[in-house]
Amino acid sequence: MTKIAFIGLGIMGGPMAANLVAAGHDVIGFNRSRGKVDALVERGGRAAGSIREAVGDADVVVTMLPDSPDVEAVVLGDDGVLASARPGTVLVDASTIRPDVSVRIAEAARAKDVGALDAPVSGGEAAAIEGTLSIMVGGESADMEAARPLLDVVGATIVHVGPAGSGQIVKAANQLIVAGTIQLVAEAIVFLEAQGVDTEAAVKVLAGGLAGNRILDRKSAGMLARQFAPGFRVDLHHKDLGIVTSAAREVGVAIPMGALAAQLMGALRAEGHGDLDHSALLLLVEQLSGRARG
Ligand code: NAD
The 8 Å CB, 24+ separation contacts for 18-25 are 18/43, 18/45, 19/128, 19/131, 19/153, 19/154, 20/150, 20/153, 20/154, 21/45, 23/153, 25/1, 25/150, 25/153
Q: Are residues 122 and 180 in the same domain?
A: no
pLDDT tens for the chain, residues 1 to 294: 899 999 999 999 999 999 999 999 999 999 999 999 999 999 999 999 999 999 999 999 999 999 999 999 999 999 999 999 999 999 999 999 999 999 999 999 999 999 999 999 999 999 999 999 999 999 999 999 999 999 999 999 999 999 999 999 999 999 999 999 999 999 999 999 999 999 999 999 999 999 999 999 999 999 999 999 999 999 999 999 999 999 999 999 999 999 999 999 999 999 999 999 999 999 999 999 999 987
Helix, strand and coil percent figures for the chain, each rounded to 5: 55, 15, 30
CATH of the domain at 267: 1.10.1040.10
240 falls within a domain: yes
Strand 115-118 to 60-63 pairing:
unpaired
Of 131, 162, 193, which closes a domain? 162
The whole-number pLDDT of residue 156 equals 98
154 falls within a domain: yes
CB-count exposure of residue 22 (10 Å: 0-12, 13-18, 19+): middle
244 falls within a domain: yes
Cα of 226 vs its chain's centroid, Å: 23
48 falls within a domain: yes
Q: Are residues 145 and 181 in the same domain?
A: no
Contact of 108 with 87, CB cutoff 8 Å = no
The whole-number pLDDT of residue 1 equals 80
The DSSP-derived string for 238-287 is HHHHHHHHHHHHHTT---HHHHHHHHHHHHHIIIIITTSBGGGHHHHHHH
Q: Ligand 1: which of 7, 30, 32, 79 to mutate, most ligand atoms within 8 Å of CB?
A: 32
Residues with CB under 6 Å of ligand 1 are 7-13, 30-33, 36, 64-66, 70, 73-74, 95-96, 121-122, 124-125, 231-232, 236
Q: Residue 119: helix, strand or coil by DSSP? A: coil
Q: Residue 179: helix, strand or coil by DSSP? A: helix
Strand 115-118 to 26-30 pairing:
unpaired
Q: What pTM was estimated for this model as a whole?
A: 0.96
Cα of 79 vs its chain's centroid, Å: 25
145 falls within a domain: yes
Q: State the catalytic residues.
A: 171
Q: Residue 46: helix, strand or coil by DSSP? A: strand
Domain of residue 83: give its range. 3-162
Strand 3-7 to 26-30 pairing:
parallel
